[in-house]
Amino acid sequence: MSTTTSPAQAGPAEQGEARQFVTFQAGEETFALPMSAVREIIRLPQVVAVPLSPPELMGVANLRGQVLPVISLRTVFRFEAHAHDDATRVVVVDQGGLVGFVVDRVSSVLTVESSRLEPASAIQAAVDTKLLAGVIKGVAGDRMALILDTQQLISADFAAVLARRARKEGREGSVERVERKEAAAERPLVSFDVAGGEYAFPIAQVQEIVQFPERVTGVPNAARHVLGVMTLRNRLLPLVSLRRMFALPDVELGPQHRIVVISLARLGEEASTVGIVMDAVNEVLRVSETLITPVPAILSGGRKAHEIEAICRLEEGQRLVSILSVERLFESSAVKEALAGANAAPSPAAPAPVVSGADTEEQLVVFRLAEEEYGVGIASVREIIRVPETMTKVPRTFEALEGVVNLRGQVLPVVDLRTRFGLPRVERDERQRIVVLALETGQTGFVVDAVQEVMKVPGQAVGPAPCMTEEQAKVMGRIANLEKQKRMILLVDPTHLLAGAEVQALAGVR
């Protein structure tokens, strides 16, 4: 391996000694890459699709903790689509970052004399010669192997657009200022379903929302409403059942249930958090103070009512949401017993030392579109509401705008996020929600397939997403790679969800 100069650029005298190439098939063609450029060859992994990207980008995959963009070589060269099978492989190369090319099968490793190398301009190929660095003659008889130029295969935006992310930083503060101004007379809440009733916590007191685990460690001699403890990121989390605390009918707990993680640090407790088990996450609400009333005095003597500090009346009084008092729940014997059990339980293995700067976290609202997960910073989420049965259509506007709805006297434009991302439309169902985001131009709702959870993601798990187009880089420039959970969450930047023309159209709608 004497040189990295491509055959397309070097003359016969400069090509030097024999070189090694990896050859592989895509369609009817045989391709090759210098062995020095190939990092590894792997089976096709699970791939997460990235909307707003060129069709060549199949998506991203997790390669031992790194985000690996996966590009279909068949699509690059406009070959007929082909189902992947046991022979399908991904050839991983280093282009200032790892990139994988999906091929039909890997053929062999060849040692090639310089006399068998020709520039791409010397042949008439069935593929675009601009994407080739040269040709190997005499492969398997009279066949030729086309040497790929990987830098030409990848759009210039793929590498260059990463630098544009810094331009977004100056805009983040303005969204927060809009949110603070609009929320002055409203109370932000996270609501949940428990035994057919709807309850809520103030959003500021909710650390995160996680799925009920497969295993809970019981606490000896604990009260019935103390479920036990679970491990959450190398710390013990005591669990309390709200159903049992309120003497509601018991059910078998499973992965469909959710745990609301509440911080106790401000109260000086030994354990920093406690988990309250709910049936399901419902919505994120921002309720006007005029719709919130204290619990009637006649009910204040009951155990359940004692821990409910107020009730909000929605949908003209047809929907009542009980706001739980975090402080009163903390005072209860159930929580104290759970905390005592957590402190007495065996500690998990000590976590690795925290590297300075690596302990930052981002709190996300995670939602689903098609088969993929997306996240948006909770600071941008005003509320999450059900999709109404009807919306007022707006004629002669952009395709993704579903219409407008009346949100407590304000006109709320609603955008179908599937359409915005170029995904197939689907019929409306009960799981779909409208995520209301605070944009610089005002509140806008985005229809998603389902809201998954509210979670905290460690800063070291967040990195740049593969960028193939400028639009995709602006909207989804980052990705959370949760290797242990085998999840990859595309992070959405709300400030770029709508293009300039769409923003102007919404201004006219408002």
pLDDT digits (tens, 9 = 90+) for 266-284: 444 444 678 899 998 777 7
Q: Are strands 361-369 and 450-458 parallel, antiparallel or unpaired?
A: antiparallel
φ and ψ at 358, to 5 degrees? -95, 0
In the 3-class helix/strand/coil scheme, how is 447-488 assigned residue by residue? Answer: EECEEEEEEEEEHHHEEECCCCCHHHHHHCCEEEEECCCCEE
In a 3-state reduction of DSSP, which class is residue 59? strand
How confident is the model at residue 272, as a pLDDT? 64
Per-residue pLDDT, averaged over 178-188, amounts to 59
Share of the chain above pLDDT 70, in %: 77
Res 340 pLDDT > 60: no
Q: Which of 27-41, 57-71, 260-274, 443-457 has the lowest mean pLDDT?
A: 260-274
Percentage of the residues of the chain whose pLDDT score is greater than 90: 16
Instruction: Report the alpha-carbon distance of residue 373 to residue 69 in Å, rounded.
Output: 17
Longest dimension (CA), the chain: 98
Q: Is CATH 1.20.1270.10 the classification given to domain 19-154? A: no
Provide the pLDDT for residue 255.
83
Of the ranges 57-71, 175-189, 372-386, which is most confident? Answer: 372-386
Q: Which amino acid is at 248?
A: L
- Say how far apart CA 414 and CA 408 lie, in whole Å: 15
In this structure, of 186-190, 380-384, 501-505, the range with the lowest mean pLDDT score is: 501-505
pLDDT of residue 350: 37
- The tokens for 137 are 């003659």
Cα 410 to Cα 176, 221, 237, 509: the distances in Å are: 20, 53, 41, 12
The pLDDT value given to residue 333: 54
More confident residue, 255 or 14: 255
Q: Is the pLDDT of residue 324 over 60?
A: yes
d(CA 398, CA 420): 10
Could you report the per-residue pLDDT of 76-119, keeping only the tens digit for each?
888 888 899 988 999 999 877 789 999 999 988 888 888 888 88
Cβ neighbour number for residue 429 with a 10 Å cutoff? 9
pLDDT of residue 137: 85
Topology of domain 185-344 in CATH is OB fold (Dihydrolipoamide Acetyltransferase, E2P) (2.40.50)
Rounded Cα distance between 409 and 428, Å, is: 24
CA distance 33 to 133: 9
Domains of the chain: which residue ranges?
19-154, 167-180+359-509, 185-344
Query: Which neighbouring-strand residues pair with 46?
Result: none
Query: DSSP strand E in 306-419: where?
Result: 308-314, 319-324, 361-369, 372-377, 381-386, 401-407, 410-416
> How far, in Å, CA of 366 to CA of 364, rounded?
6
The 8-class DSSP code of residue 256 comes to T
Smallest CA-to-CA distance from 171 within 504, 500, 496, 503 is with: 496
Whether 417 shows a pLDDT value over 50: the answer reads: yes
- Phi, psi dihedral angles at 435 (to 5 degrees): -90, 115
CA-based nearest residue to 448, from 412, 471, 417, 472: 417
Whole-angstrom distance, CA of residue 375 vs CA of residue 451: 10
Token code pair at residue 117: 């190398």
Closest to 230 measured CA to CA, from 288, 271, 185: 271
Q: Is 6 within 8 Å of 149 (Cβ atoms)?
A: yes
pLDDT digits (tens, 9 = 90+) for 134-146: 888 877 666 788 9
Instruction: State in words which class domain 167-180+359-509 has.
Output: mainly beta
Per-residue pLDDT band at 415 (split at 50, 70, 90): very high
Does the pLDDT value for residue 159 go beyond 60? no
3-state helix, strand, coil in the chain (%, to 5): 20, 40, 35
Q: What is the pLDDT of residue 432?
A: 93
pLDDT for res 219: 67
| Least confident span in 167-176, 436-445, 483-492 | 167-176
Q: Could you give the CA distance from residue 366 to residue 7 in angstroms, rounded to a whole number? A: 48
Average pLDDT over residues 422-450: 90
d(CA 330, CA 265): 11
Q: Where are the alpha helices (DSSP H) in 209-289?
A: 242-245
**Closest by Cα among 259, 243, 205, 202 to 453:** 259
Helix (H, G, I), strand (E, B) or coil at 353: coil
The pLDDT mean for the chain works out to 78
